[in-house]
Amino acid sequence: MSDIIDLEKLFHRSKDRIKDLGEVFTPELYVEDMLNLLAKDKRGLWSHEEISFFEPCSGHGNIVLPVYKRRLEGMYKKAVAQGLSGKSADAPYYAVANALNTLWAIDIDSKNVENCRSRVLSATLEFLKTKLDITSDLVLLSQKRGFFAHVLSAIKWHIDENETLSALSTPENAKASANLTNAGSKWFSQNGH
Ligand SMILES: C[S@@+](CC[C@H](N)C(=O)[O-])C[C@H]1O[C@@H](n2cnc3c(N)ncnc32)[C@H](O)[C@@H]1O
């Protein structure tokens, strides 16, 4: 599945996009450092089902992906420790369901949203194949079709095209807030609040 995404093409920054969207993605090393700092003060951060993560300007997911991967591993370890394992191999599915349910991300750019969704889907399939010792996507998908229908819906719903500044305003002053961003005015007239 990961072969389908051309990672080179994900780095499609241009001068115009940097100017209009502030599109400079955070390198993985910095993200990992930030997440280590975050976890220092909060034990069990990655496995806590009642903590949600929201990325307000997700780009193609350079922060979303490391958070999601840590959540998958954290939830999985917790589930195994609580005895949710064995033949039914429930722990990996439990981890995906909970990590996805608590992950939210928006970006104003539809291509970034599409790429972020694809990367989250790839990470999900890779995680499940590794934990379940399955090599083929098709075999994995055919084993639990209903579950994967939910996974696709959750990814589509939780990672969405939206505008952060106007989303933080009331409907009355949303347009004015959106107009404060370079891309906001155009986006607002096309998409509303
Ligand atoms: C500096 S990049 C950061 C991307 C990601 N957070 C990272 O660290 O790699 C900024 C992102 O914000 C998006 N963006 C710009 N203005 C926005 C707005 N008003 N609402 C939501 N997203 C916006 C751009 O499309 C771009 O993907």
pLDDT averaged per 10 residues in sequence order, the chain, 193 residues: 50 66 84 95 92 95 98 94 72 96 94 97 97 95 95 97 79 74 69 70
| pLDDT for the residue numbered 3 | 44
**140 and 184 within one domain:** no
Q: Which residues line ligand 1 (CB under 6 A)?
A: 21-26, 57-59, 62-63, 106-109, 112, 163-165, 181, 183-184
> Does residue 31 sit in helix, strand or coil?
helix
Residue from 107, 169, 193 to probe ligand 1 pocket by mutation (most atoms less than 8 Å from CB): 107
| pLDDT for the residue numbered 89 | 72
**183 and 120 within one domain:** no
Distance from C-alpha of 178 to C-alpha of 166, rounded to nearest angstrom: 5
Q: Smallest Cα–Cα separation from 110: which of 11, 13, 187?
A: 187
| pLDDT for the residue numbered 2 | 44
Ligand 1 centroid–CA 60 distance in Å is 9
Can you give the residue range of the structural domain that contains 169?
Answer: 164-193
Q: How many domains, in total, are found in the chain? A: 2
| pLDDT for the residue numbered 13 | 62
| pLDDT for the residue numbered 39 | 93
Q: Specify the DSSP class assigned to residue 161.
A: E
| pLDDT for the residue numbered 87 | 47
Query: What sign results for the dihedral spanned by CA atoms 69, 75, 78, 82?
Result: negative
> Does residue 119 sit in helix, strand or coil?
helix
**153 and 75 within one domain:** yes
CB 7: neighbour CB atoms within 10 A? 10
| pLDDT for the residue numbered 175 | 74
| pLDDT for the residue numbered 172 | 72
| pLDDT for the residue numbered 136 | 96
Distance from C-alpha of 39 to C-alpha of 65, rounded to nearest angstrom: 16
**Two structure tokens written together for 119:** 């990367």
**168 and 158 within one domain:** no
| pLDDT for the residue numbered 20 | 67
